[in-house]
A and B are shown apart, each in its own frame.
Chain A
Amino acid sequence: MSTTSIALTEVPASRPFPLHLHEWVTTVDHKRLGILYILLGVIFLAAGGIEATIMRVQLVRPHNDVVSPEAFNRMFTMHGTTMIFFVAMPLVFGFANYLVPLMIGARDMAFPRLNAFSFWMTALGGVFLYFSFLGGDGLYGAGSAPDVGWFAYAPLTAKTFSVGHSTDFWTLSLLSSDIGSIGTAINIIATILCLRCPGMMLGKMPLLVWLNLVMAGLVILAVGPLSAAQIMLLIDRYLGAHFFDTQAGGSAVIWMHFFWIFGHPEVYVLILPAFAFASEIIPVFSRKAMFGYSVMVLATIAIGFIGMSVWAHHMFTVGMSAGASTFFVLSTMAIAVPTGIKIFNWMATMWGGKIRFDAPMIFCVAFLFQFLVAGLTGVTLAVAPLDWQLGNSYYVVAHFHYVIVGGILFTIFAAIYYWLPKVTGKTYSERLARAHFWLFFIGFHLTFDFMHIPGLLGMPRRIYTYEPGRGWDTWNLIATVGVAFQAAGILFFAGNLVWSYLKGKPAGNDPWDAWTLEWSTSSPPPIYNYATIPVVRSRRPLWDLKHPEDPDWRYE
């Protein structure tokens, strides 16, 4: 194994393209699979972004008819499903794949072939989903994508109401990506628990590793229920069973429970890696060690536990019993406490630091502010009576986009800029990155700040058009204008990647003067990561190395 790997790195780079491609398709290297995951996420980000743009263009003014109501339903279903399962999850898993082994001083993941299998199952899921555009109607030619919403409430998914195969493609797509997710989660946990380099006790792991450990634990517990629900839906649709068939005594509400038992922990699956990026980037750019390491770990574990018991706050409007509603109100509010602790810890890390506002840091600072706002609107929605008023309105849409775009996507951009020099060995353009930041920042706030207001004024989500004169017109126009800024920002981002590929200078091993192990190896790292397995004594092994007179392990 290792001999072939070394031989591969010595082959000159000017091989014919098919050979190159074959190498990437058959790879089991955690770094390449990480890059493949991230590329998959970026490609689907473009697809999901186009779908979002179509929706915003349709809603720019009342009585607009850019797309038909049916096409609009397909757009919001595809947008939601794509962004969660084929953008956010692959990006999260991609970074975990790439960084976790490097950060714990390992040469690969615990199960490299399972890793490749998981990636290709995820990719297959994406293919299933988008093939539905062609094959959704069966063999009639013009196809149709799923149009049941990303949480696919019963009975919309019943054979009666969803003829053709669009819902089947949706189900198979999720089932396939679930298998990939569980495989990767198993891999991440086994890697972290079993492959740490000597001296790296659990309490000395970088926070990114800790947060990904808890994230993988949540995937293990939360994705199974989604798979189970998908299997039940398949049995209903293909074998005529009655799980969600209210005509035969089945329950539509139980689908909601099964879906959200997955659906809410999924939010934490996505946000914990966002926290992980912030917890690595903020200390390095504040030139200070992370404030309150052990509290951060405990808060993460608390979020993991509480996150498993808040799902039914998505269902206040269904009419649960008073006891159940009260429980989910309180548990949802309780989760704000460990999350708030984290925000204070990041601020305390920056406090008194010598802050460098490079691109990764400005994205993280915006994340801090935006995630705080997203958390606060989350607390308002946790109040069940207010949720009865605002449930399924654009206020909810604005809230969760604040979390997913303002929180997760901003830190993913930060992470891409932070680790790009390590992954490719080349620098990016700071000027283009700043243009990307400001355009995307302005666009994000135009779209999602103002989207709260029509929600408060009663505009429901998922409507394809609306009557003029309800006070919604201006807000919708502003929200759509914001999309143009976001799209322009994304173009600068893509342009920056191209610039880096063509004109980027060699970045060196450690361009940020950082402290975790991945910066001690070359950029890009060799296929074996470390020629000799490192030995660590503190949470910042590279600090110890650069400051032998004042090492961290004296104080930890």
Chain B
Amino acid sequence: MVIKEYFEDVYNRVIDQKDNYEKTTVAVGEHFADIYTSDSALKRVFFYSIAHLITYNALTLSSLTIYCITDDILEERLKAPTLCADELSLNGNYNNSDSDRYFIFYQPWLHQIYLYDSLHNIAIYWVKGINNIPWWEPTFSFRIIFHWWSLKTPYQLIHSGAISKDGNKTFLFPAPSGSGKSTTTLQLWLSGFLYLGDDYIMIDVDKNIVYQLYSTAKVETITLEKFLPELKEKIINKNKLQEQKGILHIENLQKIYALPISGIIIPNISSGNYGIFECNKSAAQLAIAPTTLHHLPHNRDTSFRKITKLVQTNKTYIWNLPTLRDTLVNQFSQFQVNE
């Protein structure tokens, strides 16, 4: 399949309906993205995790354009791209050997598709209908598009939480799912620390700065019961917890667009020797790169280099997590004072 032709076909059909879209502008790092949605329900779904990034400044010059549409807006239903099995590698990554200008993210078991023209920074998210949106997609809206756009910039999305005491000392908490990342981040947030993200955050690897991106968190039910009981009532998908992780919307999020990074702490579920200890940088690279590059499979070599720069720039620690929240908060507070 030639992605260029597929992109142009979809783009022309999307543009045909341009008078029917609603435009919203959001801040992405130091830049802005114009997001055009084809109906208000779709906008509601995708903006609850990025509503805090919306800007109403009419003078912004956007460097990224996103069209977010369903089949309902198109005159003809969209056909799936034709793929050869050997061209589709890994998790939705398509070997676009015909061009390095166009990108596609397509998982043939889902009714959605992402497309991107890196020359004009134009992206399209198409989903068959509102009911076909995978539950996780709006918790990190347009993640794959932000990743494509960032490839030519010093920005890099990474799978990590981020917490700050008062804006002066900000730490990243990278780790694979199930290693205590969300639990730690949310417990610290509940104890008064500033929340920058739980799942995906954006880093400027040249300036060593972290940017807030999403105001959502995802936690397993058992984690809620055991460590975050006061958040159980705030879960927005209570009746779907058999199939989905619990989704939280971080209310009253302080708008902290950017903070300098003080270090990287890898949460580690441990049965003893609790505390925060300096660790080898390769452990931090292994905490960030595999999951990030699995979720964001395009141009892995570029992302790997950026993650390496982030890790080389910062001190790295491992945190053998205590089970009691008070101990956890005290350890982190003491650590921040000493660092």
Task: Report whether chain A binds chain B.
Answer: no
